[in-house]
């Protein structure tokens, strides 16, 4: 990423000390700034400033991304919290419906029990009515026999 800011080889200034350099020390004072490496130093400084600006821009972008991520996470957190509340309400509704179904099942069992009792009563009454009907038929037969026997005696 920082390849464009890397210095070429030999970018470091090193001066070898020799007897010749010692003798020419007075002559270097009169040389131009580019001869003593000031231009290169200024170029390095400019590149470093560019690199610092680039790093600063990267930091700003990272902060912006982090801010957006924090915002997204907060929104998701709120959405999840709302979903959790809705699911809790659905769960409560299901529990309430299950209780209602259980109550209805109990009521149905009671009604079935009462219907069975009514069926038993009806069967008992039917048996009693059958007995009464048989008795009436028997008595009717006796009365007819008596009537027939009287009618035959009178004729």
Report how far residue 99's alpha carbon sits from residue 89's, in angstroms, rounded to the nearest whole number. 15
Cα separation of 98 and 91, whole Å?
10
What number of CA atoms fall less than 13 Å from residue 43's CA on the CB side? 12
Q: What is the pLDDT of residue 81?
A: 96
Q: How far is CA 57 from CA 41, 52, 60, in A?
A: 24, 9, 5
Distance CA 56, CA 140 (A): 122
Per-residue confidence at 16, pLDDT binned at 50, 70, 90?
very low
> What pLDDT is recorded for position 77?
96
Residue corresponding to tokens 């009178």: 154
pLDDT score recorded for residue 75: 96
Write down the domain spans for the chain: 3-154
User: Per residue in 60-85, pLDDT tens?
Assistant: 999 999 999 999 999 999 999 999 99
Closest among 6, 12, 16, 17 to 37, alpha carbons compared: 12
Mean pLDDT of 41-69: 95
Q: Which two tokens stand for residue 84?
A: 């959790």
Alpha carbon distance 76, 85 (integer Å): 14
What's the pLDDT tens digit per position in 95-130?
999 999 999 999 999 999 999 999 999 999 999 999
Work out the average pLDDT over 30-41: 68
- Cα 55 to Cα 44: distance, rounded to the nearest angstrom: 16
The band of 148, judged by pLDDT with boundaries at 50, 70 and 90, is confident
């Amino acid at each position: 990423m920082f390849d464009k800011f890397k210095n070429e080889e030999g970018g470091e200034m090193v001066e070898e000390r020799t007897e010749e350099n010692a003798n020419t020390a007075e002559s270097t004072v009169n040389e131009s700034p580019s001869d003593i490496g000031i231009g290169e130093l200024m170029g390095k400084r400019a590149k470093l400033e560019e690199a610092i600006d680039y790093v600063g821009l990267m930091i700003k972008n990272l902060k912006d991304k982090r801010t957006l991520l924090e915002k997204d996470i907060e929104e998701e957190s709120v959405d999840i919290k709302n979903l959790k509340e809705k699911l809790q309400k659905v769960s409560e509704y299901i529990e309430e419906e299950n209780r209602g179904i259980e109550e209805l099942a109990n009521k149905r069992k009671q009604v079935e029990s009462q219907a069975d009792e009514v069926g038993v009563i009806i069967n008992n009454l039917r048996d009693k009515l059958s007995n009464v009907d048989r008795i009436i038929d028997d008595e009717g037969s006796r009365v007819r026999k008596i009537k027939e026997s009287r009618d035959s005696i009178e004729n």
